[in-house]
Structure 1
Amino acid sequence: MILAIDVYYIENRAKTVGILFEYWTDTKSDINAVISDYQDNIEPYQSGQFYRRELPCIMSLLKKIDLSSVSVIVIDGYVQLAEGKMGLGGHLYNSLNKSIPIIGVAKKPFAGNSPYLIEVVRGESKHPLYITAIGTPLEDAAANIKLMAGKYRMPDLLSFLDQQTKLFKSETVV
């Protein structure tokens, strides 16, 4: 199974959502499961230390999933930053004892990490997605993200995942 994860924040609270699917070409109707987790007292954002805020949310969600069936995890963010410094995905990989490959899909460039990524242009978009990976060849990771269903820049399943996290706005009083 492939697990894609995203987190959305409101103040110091977070909703983490994971979707499980079997094939890179799967569509929304093929999703095997949608799993959610909520956390309070989230660390504030710190530039260059994003993982401190997001990793605890992801680890909490992972407690609800049988990881023995997960072959790869896709995150919204970077695996590697500038000069080989670990991003969220790298920290997640290490937290999982390097047992599950991690693919990072980012929408915005990060200065200085171009040696560690492949830009993937999907659909008719002029803007690439920035793909990083650990535990799997970067070329394979980029090819798999390009292969995902959807005619726009962002694959349909990752857009659906993003929408699921943002439902948090209507689930809670701001």
Structure 2
Amino acid sequence: MVLAIDVYYRETFAKVVGILFNWKDEEPTEIFTTNIKNVEEYQSGQFYKRELPCILELLKEIDIQNLECIIVDSHVYIDNDKNFGLGGYLYESLEQQLPIIGVAKKSFFNTANVSFPVYRGISDNPLFVSSIGIDVETAIENVKNMHGEYRIPSLLKKLDGLTKS
């Protein structure tokens, strides 16, 4: 099973949603939701400090022993020197026990060697896929082959909608 996680920030709390699925599924097998109060303020260049505690709180509700990997709506690395982004920090927080795949809508400057464009459907705009603990080619193929005919796989689009609702 794969777990995809997203966080959406409200005025007084963050809503964290995780969906459990198999790679080619059209619908999630299970949905997890939690709200987090006292969220860290956003710090430019240190997004992970705000988002990581929220993700770790949701993971307390999930048996991660049987997961193949976790997908985050972010990057694993923020530059070609492999300085960590959210995905890398999550991997370290989980003691390198679970692969992390970053699926981001925008690229970072100077990440051409660690974050790769993935074109889906007829879109001219790629997603940017990065990974740690799993071969990036495998991660790219899995994201490419997820259900849905548009740029964003249908389950990741559903996750985004659940997070914002």
Would the TM-score normalized by the shorter structure come out above 0.5? yes
Q: Give me the TM-score of the superposition, normalised by structure 1.
A: 0.92
1:170 paired residue number = none
Whether the 8 Å contact between 1:107 and 1:129 is mirrored in structure 2 is yes
Residue aligned with 1:84, SS:
coil
Partner of 1:81: 78
- 2:29 & 2:124 partners in 1: Cα distance? 32
Alignment partners' CA distance in 1, 2:29 and 2:139: 21
Q: Counterpart of 1:114 in 2: which secondary structure?
A: coil
Q: Unpaired runs of 5+ in structure 2?
A: none
- The structure where helix makes up a greater share of residues is 1
**1:71 maps to 2:65:** no
Q: Is the aligned partner of 1:155 residue 2:153? A: yes
Tell me the equivalent position of 1:5.
5
CA distance in 1, matches of 2:149, 2:14: 30
Q: After superposition, give the CA deviation of every residue in 1:98-144 in whole Å (9 maximum; x if it has no partner).
A: 00000000001111111101110000000000000000001110110
The residue number in structure 1 matching 2:125 is: 127
Indicate the residue corresponding to 2:49 in structure 1. Answer: 52
Cα offset, 1:66, TM superposition: 0.5
Partner of 2:112 in structure 1?
Answer: 114
CA-based RMSD of the aligned residues comes to 0.8
- TM-score normalised by length of structure 2: 0.97
Whole-Å Cα distance in 2 between the matches of residues 138 and 12 of structure 1? 37
For residue 9 of structure 1, report the CA deviation from its aligned partner.
0.3
The alpha-carbon deviation at position 153 of structure 1 amounts to 0.3
Q: Deviations over 1:6-33 (max 9, x none)?
A: 00001241000000012x11102xx211
Note the alpha carbon deviations across 1:72-103, whole angstroms, 9 max, x for none.
00000000111211000000000000000000
Structure 1 unaligned blocks of 5 or more: 168-174
Which residue identity is paired with 2:161? Q
Contact 2:70 2:101 in 1 (8 A): yes
Alpha-carbon distance in structure 1 between the residues aligned to 2:43 and 2:110: 18
Work out the number of aligned pairs and report it: 164
1:139 & 1:69 partners in 2: Cα distance?
Answer: 22
Shift in CA distance, 16/118, structure 1 to aligned 2, threshold 3 Å? same
Would you say the 8 A contact 2:107–2:115 is kept in 1? no
Q: Identify the residue that residue 90 of structure 2 maps to in structure 1.
A: 92
Flag as ranges the 4+ runs of structure 1 deviating above 3 A.
none
- Whole-angstrom CA distance in 2 between matches of 1:12 and 1:92: 24
2:19 is aligned to: 19
1:40-82 Cα deviation digits (max 9, x unpaired): 1111111110000000000000000001111100000000111
Q: Is the 8 A contact 1:118 1:139 kept in 2?
A: no
The equivalent residue for 1:171 is none
